Every structure is written in C-alpha cells, then in structure tokens.
Structure 1
Amino acid sequence: MREGLDRHPRSGKGAWTLLRALDAMAGRRLWLGGALLAALTVLMGMALLGLSGWFITATALAGLVPATALVFDVFMPSAGIRLLAVGRTGARYAERLVTHDATLAVLAALREKLFRHWSRPQAARLLMLRPARLLQRLTSDVDALDSLYLRLLVPGMAALGAALLAGLSFGLMRWWLGLLALAWLLLAGWGIALWHGLRTRQAAVRRAMALEALRLQSVDLAAGQAELLMAGQLPAQVAAVLACDARAAAADDRLYRAEARAAQAYGVAGALTLSAALLAMGSLVERGQIGVAVAALGILLALSAMEPFAALRRGAAEAGRTWLAVRRIGKAAVEEGPPQAGRQPTPGAGLAVQLDSASAAHPGQMAALGPLDLHIREGERVALIGRSGAGKSSLLSLIAGELPLVSGRAAAGFCCWMTQRTELFQDSLRGNLRLAAPEAGDDVLWQALEAAGLAQDVRAMPHELDTVLGEGGLGLSGGQARRLALARLLLHPARCWLLDEPTEGLDAATAGDVLQRLAVAARGRTLVLASHWQREARLADRLLWLENGRICGQALRGTPQFDEAIGRLRPDAGN
C-alpha cells in the first residue's frame, strides 16, 4: 500500500499550482462569492440567535417596570429579527446555488482538461494497460476534489466569520474578552479539524486505494469469469474481491470511529465555550459592567460560535483522499494538452508521408523502428509486409503520430487509422458513426453504410440507426462490426488511411467483399496497410517488407518481385 503512495509527488507546490488552476477554471468571483455567502449565512444565523435572546430578555425586564415598558421600542428589534431571518434564508439559497455552480463548472472543466491531456500519443496503449486506474482518475479522483471547496474552503471561511463576529461582540464588552474568544475559537475549532485530518489521512488513503482495487478486481471477475473458470482461478479471483472489500470496510471502520471522536471533541469544545461565556457574563453582570440582556446575547453567541467549525469535520475526514487525488491528477490538470494524434508536420509537396532517417520507440523501450527513409506519394497505395514483430504496426503508429519520434524527421498529412481492433462503443449506431463526422446527417450515414455493405443489415434492425450497441459493439457479428468500422472510416475527412490487418478474423467471403468496397472507396486517397494476407496486399501499388524495424526491400506492381512477395504471404484460402 505504501508503494502505491510513494509513486506520487509529495510536494505542496503542485497542490498550490492545482488550486490556482481550479480557481482559473471557475472564476474568482464564483469561488470567493460562494465562500462569502456561506460566511454571511453563518453570521446572520448567529446574529439572529443573539438578537432574539437579547430582545426576549430585554422585553421581559422592561415589562417589570411600567414606565420602562411604555417607552421600550419593540419595533426596531422585531424588524431586525425578521430581516435577519429572511436574509439568512436568502443567503443560504444563494450560497448553495453559487457554490454548487462553481463546483460543477470546475469539475466539468477539469474532466475536459484530463481528456485533453490523455489524448497524447500512446494514450490508447496506456488505456489498455491500466483502464481501471485511468477511469478512477476521471471519476472518483475528480469528484474527491470538490471537498477542497465545498467542505474545506467554504466552511473554513464561514467558521472564520463566526469567530470574528464572536470576538467583535465580546470585544465590545471587554477588549481582552474579545481577543480570548477569537483565539480560543480559532485554536479549538481549526485545531480539532487539523487533528482530525491528520488522524484520518492514512485511513482515507487506504480506503481510496482499496476501493480502486475492488473496482479493478470486480471488473476482471465480471468480464473474465469464463476464462477464470476454465483456468481454475475463479475462486482465487472471488477471494481477491472479498479481500479488497474487507480492506475498504476496515478503513471505513477507522474513519467512522475517528469521526465520532471528532464530534465528541467539538461537543466538549462547545460545552467549554458555553461554560466560559456563562461565567464571564455572570461576572460582568455582577460587577454592573453589562446588562442582563447583553449577557443573554453573549451567551447565545457563544452557544452558536462553535457550530460552524464542526462543519469542517467531514472535510477534514476526506482531506487525505482529496490530497491523494491532487497528487494523482495535479500534473495532468495544470499541463496543457499535447497536439492531437494524427496531426504530424506537413510533408513535402505531392507527398502524403515523409520519413527521413526517422527512428521511434515506445516509452521506456529500445528503438522499435529505424532509421527509416520512406516517401509515399499522395494517392499511392502501399502495403507493409513482414513477419509478426517486424515493425509494421509500429510504422503505422509513427505515421499516425502515436509513436514518439526519437530522431530524424517524420511528416504526414492528416491520417485516419483503422487498427486491428474494432473500437465500438455502448451507444447507438448513429453515435458510433458520428465519431468520424459529428455533423453528418442521416442521409450521409446511410450512404456510408451502403458503401460498406451494412445498410441492409441495419434496415432489418427494429430501430435502424437508433439501435443501441452493447459494450464493445455487443449485438453485432464480427463481420458487421468490421463493416461498421469501415463505414466510419469512409465518413472521416482524412485523405490518408492507415489500415492494420483490415480483414483479420473475417471469413473469406466477407473479407473479399470488405476489400472490394474498400478499394472503391479509397480512390484518390493514400492507403497504407499492414498485412499478412495476399488478398489485402493485392490492393497495393507498392510493397514494402520490414524486418527488425527497418525496410529491407520494396517491389512495384507489375514486377516479378511484386508477384514473388505476394506469393510468400498467407493465401486467401487459408482463412
């Protein structure tokens, strides 16, 4: 558990940078406005209680003497009480409106920031390696940041306002009494919150990490139960889920116990404050330095002064979780997102792809490609062939801007990459198609489906374009999913298409139909495809065979070398 924590920076500088970034996302007026409204609500509540106590006491005393009762003004205090009551209600409503508006605006902007940060090269590869972790960052970690504002900053400002009001009120009676009240409230109120936050920090972090592990283990259990059962690992996976749940429950138990002790501490502090106020007010009344009505006001102010500090209890309990979230996503939240993948430097005139002494590698690995010299003309069709691991997919990654360039120069026009995996989402058919063309109308979508050979199947579905797919395109056969990916490719405005094993996993008839439609749709476009199949390589005007990340040779259509290279590939009948 400690190793997971130590991978994150501990510097407070990053937290302060994140706070400034969050401030810029929401706007200072919203952040400070919400905190000031919260303070105003607390001050009006305390003033209402104090004024009501003074008014009741003063009225009762005035009633004892008929002459005093005749001249006693009951209208101004009663009007003040009504004003404070209405004002407190309005301030509370405005405070909730402003604070939640600010928080939701910040969280939405932060998620957009994270999406942009994660749209860097290699993002898809990293997402496949750690999907649960990145999902946790985007959901739970972002949600945990609302405690910074809603449960720490806003209650802290309100508590400060309460302490200042109590200090000022007691200071008007005796200056030393005001200073003592202010110092005691700040020391006790904030001190208990700080103690509570430090005491629960480890438990809050353990709970967060246990819940993240529980999510990961549960997803693996649900998604891979068939494989786990066949491997005899299903009981072990169930045991792992139960162990994660037990760790989260143990952390919850520690948090609940600590929160109960913090509530007791605030209760004791409130009782001490009230007792000290009773003694002080009684002493001042006995000496004739204040009246009984003023003493009642002071006692009721003391009664309510500690309550705003108690609101910090929940924020302090979640401070460890919030701090962990800051350390996890702080860097991504403050950095500007990198250029979008697929946007390479512009190649020379008439070229779609231009590689000059280009070398590339996956992060943390030795060079996977290069050095390479490759020029592909606009409208040319090139097939990359070679054994598995030769570097075909890596070369497509480099052209697409996904694989980081180590040395040399890589330039390409705007590319669209169709990988070996058919990436479909739990959305309608229309939604999956519009990923490539968000503004496309239904008539354009139907044309793309017709060109991909899927229109007839979609028309046979009860909801046609509104048909909702399951996760990963569940509800479509392998051939239908590949055709849907092809239709999405046809909708994309890129003039350069990158295809990685476009018909892998399809039967010969379906593969032949998909390739025939692809050849027609690709007229006038640049086509770069990686393949082991003769049927795919026949689309090319030029073959490039790779070995160990380097181009070992090439052959043009119509030459004996071209036919010889095609013959070494996997025959169509082998599918």
Structure 2
Amino acid sequence: MISTRHLGPVAALFRSANRPMLAAGAAMALATVLSGIALLGLSGWFITATAIAGASVTTALAFDVFAPSAGIRLLALTRTAARYGERLTTHEATLRVLAQLRERLFRGWARADAARELAIRPSRLLFRLTVDIDALDSLYLRVVVPVFAALGAGLVTAIALGLLHPGLGAGVGLLLLGAGLGIPALAARRAEKAARRRAHALEVLRARSIDLMRGQTDLAMANRLGAQAAGIAAADSRLSEADIALNRIETDVSFALATVSAVLLAGILLAVAALAEAGTIGAPSAAFALLVGLACLEPFTGLRRGAVEFGRTLLAARRLGPRLGETPDTVPALPGPAPDRSVEVDGLVAGYPGARRPVLDGLSLAIRPGEHVAVIGESGAGKSTLLAVLAGELAPAGGHVALAPATLLTQRSELFRDSLRGNLALARAGTDDGDMRRALQAAGLDRFVATLPDGLDTPLGEGGTGLSGGQSRRLALARFLLRDTPVWLLDEPTEGLDGATARDVLARIAARSRDRALVVATHIRREAALADRLIRLEEGRIVADIARGSAEYDRALEGLRPD
C-alpha cells in the first residue's frame, strides 16, 4: 500500500499557490450541487402544491405562483453560472499549480549530479517528470473538489429533511455520508494496486517502444527485433489487464451507488408516506423530500473516477513529493583566481555520491592566462571529473578551487528541437544575428547555413536531426564560441569525427583560444598537440607535468591514441 504521507508537500503547494482561486472553485462546485438539488426539490414542491391549489377556485386565487417560479428560475440560472464558473476556476487554478510544480521540479533537477542521473535513466525520469505531474491534477479536480461538494450536499440535505422530521434528516445524512464516502474509499483502496500496475506498464511500454524506434539497427544486427516486439506486446497486455481491472472497479462503484440510491429513495418514500399519513407533513413537502432524495446522491457519483485514479495520484506524489521539499543542491560559484592565474587548484578532493573513495585526491594545478593544458591519462583517472569541478557541475569535497569564468564543450553537446537561432541563443542572452553569423563563420558552418532557404530560422529535429555529425559538432562549437569566456574547458571535443573535420575544428579552436586559458581532457594525440603542457593523471593524482619542447613531451604524445 502506498502511504499518503507523500501527499503533504503536494498539498502544501496547492495551499500556498492560488488559494483564493482554489477555494472559489470548490465553493462554486458546492453551489452547483446545491442549486441542482434545491431546483429539483422546489420544482417538485411547486408542481404538487400547484396541483392541489388548482383543486378549488379559492385556493387557486390565493396561491402565490410568482415567488416559487422566480426561485426556480434563479436556481436554474445559479446552477448554470456556478457550473461554468466552477469549470473555469478549478481548471485554471489547477493548471497554475501544475505550472509552478513543473518549475520547482525542473529547478530541483539543476543540482550538481542531475545531468548524470538523467543520462542513466532518461526515458523513465522524463516520463515521471511529465506524466506524474499530469496525474496530480486528479488530487484537486477529482478528489478534493468532489469530496467538498459531496460533504456539503450531504449536510445540507440532512438539514433540509431534518426540518420536515429530525429522524428523516439524521437517517438520510448518515446513509449519504457513510455509503456515499465509504464506497469510493473502498474503491480507492481496491484500485490502488491496479493503478500502480497500469502506471508501471505504461512506463515500460513507452520505454520499450522508444528503444525499438531508436535502436532498430542494433536490434536487427543482434537478431533481437522479435524479442523487443514481444516485450512491447507483453507490456501492452499488462496495460490492458490493468485498464480492465480499473474499469471493472469503476463499474462496481456505479452499481453500488445506484443500489444505495434505490435504497435511499425507497426509504424516503416509506418515511414521507408515513409522515403524510400521520399528518406531520403535506403532499408538497413529501414531494420535496422525495425529489431531494433523488438528487442528493448525485454529487457522490463524482467521486467514482477520483477513487479509481487515487492510487495513481498517490504513486505520483510518492515519486515527486520528496523533491518538492528539497532545496536544489546547486554547486556554489567558484571564487576568482589571482590576477596572474586563470585556474588555481590546491589540494582538490572530489568524487561522486556513493563512491567508496574520491576520484580526485589532493590534486593541485595552476594555469596562467593564455596557457593551454592537456589533461591525459587512462580512462577513470579523473580527467572528466576535473573538468566537471572546473565547470561548476560537481562540488569539490575538499581543497581550494579558484577559476575565471569558464565554458565547457563536451563531445556530446546537446542540440534541441528548435531553429538554428534558438540553439545559438542559448549561449548568451541578447545575442543578435550578427554575433551568430560571426560565430558560425568561426566554426566553419557559415557557408552551409547560407545555402539553407530559411537561414538561421531553419528548424532542427530532436538532438540536431537534419545535421551531419560534423555539422552538429560545428554548431555546438559556434555556440561555445558565443560564450566568450577567458577559460575554455574541452572534453574530447573531436571524438567520433573524421580526421579532416577533426583537424579543421581543432585549428579553429586554436585560432580563437590564443588569449584564453585552455584545458582539454583527452586521450587523442591531435587534441593534446594543442597544449603547452601535458598533465598526466593516475588514480586522481598528477604524476607528470610536461612542458612543450621536451623529449618527454614528444614521448607522451606518441603514447596517445593516434589521429
């Protein structure tokens, strides 16, 4: 069973944001329900009273038809206006809260290790960041508002019928609140397991379908297309089974509420017949009570869908609730270095959560303005970890790090489904077309862009679809150049490129980095050749600092992977 304790942060967000609008939406939902019940009850009373009054001329002339008819019209208009206002207000309030929820969650993913965690499980976490948020709209729209309206309707019905006879009001009130709330509560408990299974099956189905679409070539080469299709079919089957179970529960709730409605109506009919026979109430009051009883259970049927979806809402709250109470774990800004330094590292200790020992342990390094340094070493030596610390993506666990403003270019810079202009504009606020074209020229992509009919407005697909690998890397380089910071951090910037493209990209980097400090983590000879110094790492420590022009420098280059 999923605990409701995770609903606290979500409920707090609903309470703190747009509270007047949320309260107004619930109040209008109650007004809609009460107007409907009163309209039916008053109409029944009026029709019966009019029929009785018309039995004789004297009573017909004395009977006031204007006040009840005006009340009926007022209730009809109130119900229509309240229904419209309730739909408008509740949905607007919910959408605003969910927008704030998305913002808070995405800000929470700005912490230091978020990118790495997202890269490990991208489809699952993206699914949860989207579908789980959407699932939380049921909390207010299908649980809180219907429960409030149903409680209000039950209490007002009990009071109204209690004015006719206290026992009648108490009996109807107890039956309404007991069965009307108890049946949906039992359904919510029963549907919890099926709702969880449906959520997990849908998650697996989407992930496997994406894997099939993106990995068709690899799956075909491994002769696994059939197995992947079978896995998708199995997930779809589990999803169908969960849907059938939820639909069955919803049908059972409808049947149970219909049975309660029939029992309630029969009980009221017998009660008012006895009261009318005893002379306690008249025929109009009996008709009023009967029609109020007919309408009073309708608000409780609104809980049917919310009860079935409550398990999904609890699951979403369990996944998202803990992050709502967290303060984003951002890495503090690094201090600036001394005037004659661009990078200062002294006794740096850095690692990742859960690791038994730090990746970098006691590392010290100083880089002057305009100096180019290549960090080399075996995989796992700490090259990328050092760049992550310098880029502000990983907080140091110890030691001192000071750095001038820096920009990181990785071998997998993300391109987004947007125009060329939109992808370049991410680099710097206020970038104009002239700056973008100069950056494209410096990256060697200007001639290609000039051949495009839409130029900078040319749309790209997801991940830069529409560009070749070399063009994607050049676009990322153009965006990198637009940052124009005094320190450039490069993590194997030409990995995966053909030799000619890689050499051209490196030549352009070298031409634009003469007055900047450059730190490149690499195991490729052509990239390390940019450096004035080679820093060799082993197990998170510097074991060699080699200057250009020495025989050791040449031997170190020769030991790297050839171009």
The TM-score range, normalised by the shorter chain, is over 0.9
Give the conservation status (yes or no) of the 8 Å contact 1:18–1:330.
Answer: yes
Name the residue aligned to 1:461. 452
Verify: 1:546 aligned to 2:553, yes or no: no
Structure 1 spans left out of the alignment, 5+ residues: none
Q: Is contact 1:428-1:465 (8 Å) kept?
A: yes
Counting matched residue pairs gives 561
Q: In 2, distance between residues paired with 1:185 and 1:131?
A: 47
Q: Distance in 2 between matches of 1:180 and 1:130?
A: 55
Segments of 5+ residues of structure 2 without an aligned counterpart are none
1-structure distance, mates of 2:404, 2:128 = 33
- Greater Cα shift, 412-421 or 315-324: 412-421
Aligned match of 1:365: 355
Please list the CA deviations of residues 197-244 of structure 1 after superposition, one character each: whole Å capped at 9, or x if unmatched: 011110111111011011111111111111011111111111111111
Report the counterpart of residue 232 of structure 2 in structure 1: 241
Matched, 1:422 2:442: no
Residue type at the aligned position of 1:362: Y
CA distances 1:499-554 after superposition (whole Å, capped 9, x unpaired): 11112222333222212221233343332111223332233233211112211121
Residue in structure 2 matched with residue 349 of structure 1 by the alignment: 338
TM-superposed CA distance for 1:322, in Å, is: 0.6
Correspondence 1:85-234 to 2 at 5 A = 85-234=76-225
Q: Does 1:314 align with 2:305?
A: yes
Tell me the equivalent position of 1:250: 241
* One-letter amino acid matched to 1:164: L
Contact 1:285 1:292 in 2 (8 A): yes
Q: 1:48 to 1:411 in 2, by over 3 A?
A: farther
Cα pair distance change 1:206/1:522, threshold 3 Å: same
Distance 1:12 1:236 in 2: 38
User: What is the distance in 2 between the residues matched to 1:198 and 1:411?
Assistant: 56
Question: Which residue in 1 is equivalent to 2:15?
Answer: 23
Aligned residue for 1:532, secondary structure, equals coil
Give the drift of 1:569: 3.0
Local SS of the residue matching 2:515: coil
Are the equivalent residues in 1 in contact too, given 2:6–2:314 (CA < 8 A)?
Answer: no
Cross-structure match for 1:496: 487
Maintained 8 Å contact 1:426/1:469: yes
1:479-517 CA-partner distances (Å, limit 9, x unpaired): 111110000101125432211111222233322221222
What is the CA–CA distance in structure 1 between the aligned matches of 2:288 and 2:517, rounded to whole Å? 83
* Contact kept in structure 2, 1:344 and 1:400, CA below 8 Å: no
Q: State the secondary structure of the residue aligned to 2:93.
A: helix
- With 219-228 and 176-185 compared, the bigger mean Cα shift is at 176-185
Q: How does 1:368-407 map to 2 (within 5 A)?
A: 368-407=359-398
CA drift of 1:388 comes to 2.8
Q: RMSD over aligned Cα, in angstroms?
A: 1.8
TM-score of the aligned structures, taking structure 1 as reference length: 0.94
What is the CA–CA distance in structure 1 between the aligned matches of 2:85 and 2:64, rounded to whole Å? 32
* SS at 1:405 equivalent: coil
**What is the match of residue 294 of structure 1?**
285
Distance 1:325 1:225 in 2: 32
Kindly provide the amino acid, as one letter, of the partner of residue 528 in structure 1.
Answer: V
* SS across alignment from 2:531: coil
Structure 1 window deviating more from structure 2 (269-278 vs 499-508): it is: 499-508
- Counterpart Cα distance in 2 of 1:74 and 1:410: 87
Q: Distance in 1 between matches of 2:369 and 2:299?
A: 69
The Cα of 1:150 is off from its aligned counterpart by 0.4
Deviation at 1:13, TM superposition (A): 3.3
- Structure 1 pair 64/379, CA: closer, same or farther in 2 (3 Å)? farther
Change (3 A) 1:159 1:513: same
Residue 38 of structure 1 pairs with residue 1 of structure 2: no
**Secondary structure in 2 aligned to 1:330?**
helix
Asked whether 1:446 is paired with 2:437, we answer yes
**Structure-1 separation of matches of 2:75 and 2:429:** 53
Q: Distance in 2 between matches of 1:278 and 1:413?
A: 84
Change (3 A) 1:266 1:413: farther
On the 8 A contact 1:156/1:312 being kept in 2, the answer is yes
Say whether the 8 Å CA contact 2:350–2:361 is kept in structure 1.
yes
CA shift, 1:404, in A, is 4.4
Deviation at 1:31, TM superposition (A): 1.5
Mapped to 1, the partners of 2:167 and 2:426 lie a distance apart of: 69
CA offsets per residue over residues 249-280 of structure 1, 9 Å max, x none? Answer: 11111111111111100100111111111111
Quote the offset at 1:438 in angstroms: 4.1
Q: Give the letter for the 1:114 counterpart.
A: L
Q: Distance in 2 between matches of 1:299 and 1:333?
A: 48
| Percentage of matched positions with identical amino acids | 52
Q: CA deviation at 1:12?
A: 3.6
| 1:559 Cα deviation after fit | 4.4
Aligned residue number for residue 70 of structure 1: 61
Going from structure 1 to structure 2, the CA distance change for 1:231 and 1:293 (only over 3 Å counts) comes to same
Q: Deviations over 1:55-114 (max 9, x none)?
A: 111111111121111121111111111111111111111111110111111111111111
Distance 1:300 1:524 in 2: 86
Which amino acid letter does the alignment assign opposite residue 72 of structure 1? F
Shift of 1:299: 0.7
User: Which is worse superposed, 241-250 or 383-392?
Assistant: 383-392
After superposition, give the CA deviation of every residue in 1:104-145 in whole Å (9 maximum; x if it has no partner): 111111111111111111222211210111111111111110
Deviates more, 1:35-44 or 1:524-533: 524-533
The C-alpha deviation readout for 1:300-352, integer Å capped at 9, x for no partner, is 1100111100110000000111100000111112222222x6x5321433343
Q: CA deviation at 1:378?
A: 4.0
